[in-house]
Amino acid sequence: MFDKILIANRGEIACRVAATARRMGIRTVAVYSDADRSALHLLACDEAVHIGDNAPKDSYLHWERILEAAKTTGAQAVHPGYGFLSENAAFAQACADAGLVFVGPTPASISAMGLKSHSKRLMERAGVPLVPGYHGADQDPVLLRAQAGRIGYPVLIKASAGGGGKGMRAVERAEDFDAALASCKREALNGFGDDAVLIEKYVQRPRHIEFQIFGDQHGNCVHLFERDCSVQRRHQKVLEESPAPGMTPELRERMGAAAVAAARAVHYVGAGTVEFIVEQRDDGAMAFFFMEMNTRLQVEHPVTEAVTGLDLVEWQLRVASGEPLPLAQHAITIDGHAIEARICAETPDNHFLPATGELAVLRWPPHAAFMRNTDGMALHDAAAVRIDSGVRQGDTITPHYDSMVAKLIVHGRDRAQALARLDAALAQTHIVGPGTNLQFLRHVVRSPSFSKAHLDTGLIPREQALLFGQEPVGLEIAAAAALAATLLREHDSEDADPFSRRDGWRAYGLAQRTIGFEFQGDPVRALVCYGHDGALQLQVGARVGALSFSRVGDAIDLQFAGQRHRVHVYLLGDTAHVFAPHGATRIRIVDLLAHSGDSQGEGGRLSAPMPGKLLSFAVRAGESVRKGQALAVIEAMKMEHSIASPSDGTVSELLYAPGDQVAEGAELLRLAS
Ligand code: ADP
């Protein structure tokens, strides 16, 4: 086994690889760019080498510097993680040339699977089922068009060198073929420097089911079951799970055998993934076809770890150091159900545009296990909730790298339990700063399609009415929570410093306070009334009722208008970020004393702080009054509220009579000073 490895990556995957290495007693070397100077992955490793500035080509893709870093630190192997150099055959070769072990397959295997059309020809020979299509070398447009006709529309044109969902065009009708081909070729040439394409039948309602495979240097090859990654947005995975719902032992047997055959066809060594597209026929049958093979560890590998209890990075390191696979096929078993959600800094309601910014609050589910930092967790007892993340509170999501904040992985005895745990864990994850897809993920998890496992790659468009533009927390709860948090904070600072109290109402014995909020861009006024017994009444939006609250750990137990909510509120600047069980929102507190009892008598006038009925005046015209003296009583919200004088003076005129209805802001009397 190696003594020391270099991790040629960043973020959560660098932390995750380091955690296993540390558990195995292998020292680790991190590399980092300028932007990552104080990134978490540096702490997860024993040493760190600066390799350049922020652009990936000047750092995480800069082989020479990475190889140099390995040499100067005495690392014996390089783990590439995923992305960056992980599927770069030339880099794998350069490692070998420098006397370093590349933790991954051979350069020849990477190249063989790198081009879609080439890998398809290999798979065809190995007897692996392919999507009906054309992947020949002849790229004559007339021939391609004829092939599309033979396959039957709709078809998919794919760039042979494509990846990451780029360079694909679905074509519904023959008339559209030529234009789609031309644009696909343009994109392929720009993106991949190669305009060769292949054509496939466009599978309807397809599922994406992939198999984790592992090979060693002794000719052994096994699979570690499947992952269903059908929930995608723009061909990128959102949720991944294992086992695939509806998978039968017989289908798993056939797909697993095909995956192993695919790997064997390229003498595969290390961790790899064979992706299949699965056609769901009306009679319930599922037909599977090879799509591609990823010659690296996948982002979603933790779901496989959760159901098998195995540490795939440990397997990678063992295989790379020449050991045989730790287990034979029959000894690998699957237990329970696991789901991974990718938490990203992005705005789902705005075409998933990536978001950046400081993670002002980053709170994980309290019982989560972490695959990072100093102590590698034991994977043998799959954790119910696992977080793989490369950031901590206070870190910034920058535009330089991808927008994934963390992966949240849950495990349960069955899918229903895993789903419930996922929803609960997403609710317990609080992020304030850049926008995230947390709420969107919760909507997907709760959607009928996902909860009933009606999976296919069209799930998100099909459920879009439920997934986008939903505000899960109403004004009333938001305002009540913001108010509770503010009053609790005032109460705290009151204990510390009695002079910093901002609740002027108490000083003068006044009983109400109007608070200005801004919610979803609209100004809102709320009225809080204080009963003699200290009870609070809140009127906001369409709701009026008693408000009470208390702290429970770091949460607030909120009762408003007969409903009880457990909320977390983060007060940052003038904004309250409210996390309620069904979702999160924010509300701005524009003015805490927007219209309070002690400041409304400007210029000797006194007006009603809320709509209500004038019950009585406590004074007559001509009477002199003292500041704080009760002047009138208004009934509103089923409570009586006394209006106190803002200053010393003389009542010059009463403007209403007892029994009158008065509007909010109505002037009740005139006061001369
Ligand atoms: P990339 O290498 O760019 O990721 P893939 O070939 O893996 O491209 O395909 C990405 C996604 O596109 C798949 O997960 C699936 O959702 C969809 N897809 C690919 N091939 C087909 C097909 N023949 N029919 C329907 N959808 C497809």
Distance 164 CA to ligand 1 centre (A): 9
- Active-site residue (options: 10, 207, 227, 296): 296
Distance, in Å, from the CA atom of 600 to the CA atom of 579, rounded to the nearest integer, reads 34
Q: What pLDDT is recorded for position 594?
A: 57
CA 56 to chain centre: 23
Residue whose token pair is 């007339």 = 142
Looking at the CA of residue 202, tell me the nearest atom of ligand 1.
Answer: 24
Ligand 1: centre distance to CA 240 (Å): 15
End-to-end, the C-alpha distance of the chain in Å comes to 89
338 within 8 A of 332, measured Cβ to Cβ: no
Output the CA angle 50-55-58, nearest 5 degrees.
Answer: 55
Sheet harboring 221-233: ordered strands across?
286-294, 270-280, 207-215, 221-233, 236-242, 337-344, 404-412, 385-389, 369-370
Q: What is the pTM of this model?
A: 0.86
605-672: CATH number = 2.40.50.100
Tell me which residues have their CB closer than 6 angstroms to ligand 1.
131, 156, 162-166, 200-203, 206, 208, 232, 235, 275, 277, 291-292, 457
> Which has the closest alpha carbon to 211: 244, 259, 168, 179?
259
Nearest to 237 by CA among 392, 82, 368: 82
State residue 46's pLDDT score: 97
Cα distance between residue 546 and residue 539, in whole Å: 9
Phi, psi dihedral angles at 655 (to 5 degrees): -100, -10
Task: Give the model's pLDDT for residue 504.
Answer: 39
222 sits in the region (left: phi over 0; alpha: psi -120 to 50; else beta) called beta
Q: Tell me the helix, strand and coil percentages in the chain, rounded to 5.
A: 30, 35, 35
Q: CATH for 475-591? A: 3.30.700.40
Q: Rounded to the nearest whole angstrom, what is the distance from the C-alpha of residue 268 to the centroid of ligand 1?
A: 23
- How many CA atoms lie less than 13 Å away from 509 in the CB half-sphere? 9
- Cα 305–chain centre separation: 20
Which amino acid residue places its CA nearest to atom 23 of ligand 1? Answer: 202
Q: Which amino acid is at 274?
A: V
| 104 neighbors 110 (Cβ within 8 angstroms) | yes
Burial 111-132 (b: 16+ CB within 10 A, else e): bbbbbbbbbbebbeeeebebbe
Domain spans, the chain? 4-103, 132-201, 206-467, 475-591, 605-672
pLDDT at position 576, please?
A: 96
The mean pLDDT values, 10 residues at a time, for the chain of 673 residues are: 98 96 96 96 97 95 97 98 96 98 98 91 95 94 96 94 84 96 92 92 94 98 98 92 97 98 97 96 90 96 96 97 98 97 95 93 91 50 85 95 95 96 96 96 97 96 93 93 92 59 42 86 88 82 91 96 95 94 92 52 56 87 84 74 80 92 84 83
Atom of ligand 1 nearest to the CA of 165: 3
Atom of ligand 1 nearest to the CA of 229: 14
CATH 3.40.1180.10 fits 4-103, yes or no: no
pLDDT at 166 (0 to 100): 81
Q: Which long-range contacts (CB under 8 A, 24 or more apart) does 190-193 make?
A: 191/159, 191/162, 191/166, 191/167, 192/159, 192/161, 192/162, 192/163, 192/167, 193/161
- pLDDT the model gives residue 471: 85
Q: Among 123, 160, 168, 460, name the best residue to mutate to test ligand 1's pocket (greatest count of ligand atoms within 8 A of Cβ).
A: 168
Q: Identify each DSSP E strand in 310-360 by its residue range.
A: 337-344, 346-347, 353-354, 357-358
Q: Which fold has domain 132-201?
A: Dna Ligase; domain 1 (3.30.1490)
Helix (H) / strand (E) element for 560: namely: strand 555-560
- Catalytic residue status for 296: yes
Taking the CA of residue 158 as reference, the ligand 1 atom at the shortest distance is: 6
Closest residue by Cα to residue 617 from 606, 609, 601, 604: 606
Ligand 1 probe mutation, 117, 210, 230, 277, most atoms within 8 A of CB: 277
Provide the β-strand partners of residue 550. 557
**Using only C-alpha atoms, what is the Rg of the chain?**
32
Mutation pick for ligand 1 pocket among 291, 294, 296, 457 (CB with most ligand atoms within 8 Å):
291
Top CATH class, 206-467: alpha beta
Give CA angle at 466 (449, 232), nearest 5°.
55
Q: Which two tokens stand for residue 606?
A: 């006194």
Determine which residue's CA is closest to atom 22 belonging to ligand 1: 202
